[in-house]
Amino acid sequence: MYHFTSVLQTYNIDATDGEMGKIKDIYIDDNDWKIRYAIVDTRKWLPERKVLLPPSIFIGVNPENESMEVEYDKSTIKNSPPVPEGTDLTRDKENQLFKYFGWTRYWSDDVILSGEKRPLGRVGSNEEEWYERMEDPLYDADEGELRRHHRDNNLRSHEEIMNSRAHGKNGKLGKVVDFIYDDDWKVKYIVLTSNNVMTNDYYPYPIERITSVDWFEGDVYLDETVEQFANKTNYPSNEDILKALQ
C-alpha cells in the first residue's frame, strides 16, 4: 500500500504506558529515499528535545484513529541520549541513540573518499558547491547557515523539503507538496503542484525521475519538460492519486 508523508505527520505516538506526543516532522535519507526517523513533538513532557524514532520500532499502526504504538515505555524514551531542539542530528548522535536502544545501524562505514577526504558520488548532497562556498572568502552567506546544509549524514527533514521549487529540463514546473511511501517506508513518488493558485492539481512522479537536488537553494530537478508537464494527468486530491496508483 501507499501512504502520504503529509498524513503521517498527523499521527499520534503511543508508548506502552501512555501517549507520548505527535509526529511533527520526519527525516528522509536522500541517498536511498527511505524514511529513517519520525520526530515526535512531546509537548511539555520533554521540552527542548528532539525525540527520534525509527519506523522499525513501530509495533502497531492504526490509520482509523491516526496513531502508532512503539515498543518502549516513556521512561526509556526520557532517559535516551538527548538531541536538543534547533540542532542537526549528527552521526555521533545517531551512534549514541543506536547504542542505547540496541538498534541496527542503517549505514556503512565504507564510504569512498577522494584525496581530500570528501565523499564521492553522494546523490543530492551538493558537496562540491558547499566546499567552493566555504573556501571562498568573499562569499557573504552566514557560515552557520552553510554548515547547517552540510551534514555528515544524508538525512533531510520533511519540513525542509516541502515547497522546494521543482524544475524541468527547460523551465519551472511548480513546487514540491508531498511524498508517497510504501509499507517498507521507502519513498516511491514525489508530488508536485503547479504554480496555478486557482486550481488543486497534483502530479505524482516516480522518485527515479529526480535528476538532482540543490538542498542549499531549495531546488529539485526532474527529467521532464515544461511541455510534458502541461500535458501530464493531474489529480484533484490525495485520494485520487492513491486510486490511480493502486
What span, in angstroms and rounded, lies between the C-alpha atoms of 107 and 60? 25
Which helix (H) or strand (E) segment holds residue 7: the answer is: helix 5-8
Query: Residue 11 — pLDDT band, cuts 50, 70, 90?
Result: very high
Contact at 8 Å (CB) between 45 and 13?
no
Q: Position of cell 505516538? A: 13
| Mean per-residue pLDDT of the chain | 83
Which of 25, 27, 17, 12 is CA-nearest to residue 77?
17
pLDDT for residue 3: 93
pLDDT for residue 218: 92
What span, in angstroms and rounded, lies between the C-alpha atoms of 77 and 48? 14
Q: What is the pLDDT of residues 196-206, one digit of tens each?
A: 766 779 999 99
Hey, what's the cell of 95? 551512534
What span, in angstroms and rounded, lies between the C-alpha atoms of 185 and 58? 11
What span, in angstroms and rounded, lies between the C-alpha atoms of 241 and 155? 27
What span, in angstroms and rounded, lies between the C-alpha atoms of 99 and 4? 31
Q: What is the pLDDT of residues 208-219, one digit of tens each?
A: 999 999 988 999
Q: What is the pLDDT of residues 144-154, one digit of tens each?
A: 444 444 455 68
